[in-house]
Chains A and B, each alone.
Chain A
Amino acid sequence: MLEVRNLQVYYGVIQALKDVSFTVNEGEVIALIGANGAGKTTILRTITGLISAKAGEVLYEGVNLQKIAPHKIVSLGIAHVPEGRHVFAQLTVYENLLMGAFTRKDKSEIEETLQSVYKRFPRLMERKNQLAGTLSGGEQQMLAMGRALMSRPKIMLMDEPSMGLSPILVGEIFDIIKSISESGTTVLLVEQNAKKALSIADRAYVLETGRIVLADDAKKLMNNESVKKAYLGE
Chain B
Amino acid sequence: MLEVKDLHVTVEGSEILKGLTLSIQPGEVHAIMGPNGAGKSTLSAVIAGKDGYEVTAGTITFEGRDVLEMEIEERAQAGLLLGFQYPVEIPGVKNIYLLKAALNAQREARGEGEIPAPEFMKLIKEKVSFMKMDNSFLQRAVNEGFSGGEKKRNEILQMLVLQPKLAMLDEIDSGLDIDAMKVVAEGVNSLRSEDRGILLVTHYQRLLDYIVPDHVHVLVDGRIVKSGNADLARELESRGYDWVVEESAA
User: Are A and B associated in one complex?
Assistant: no
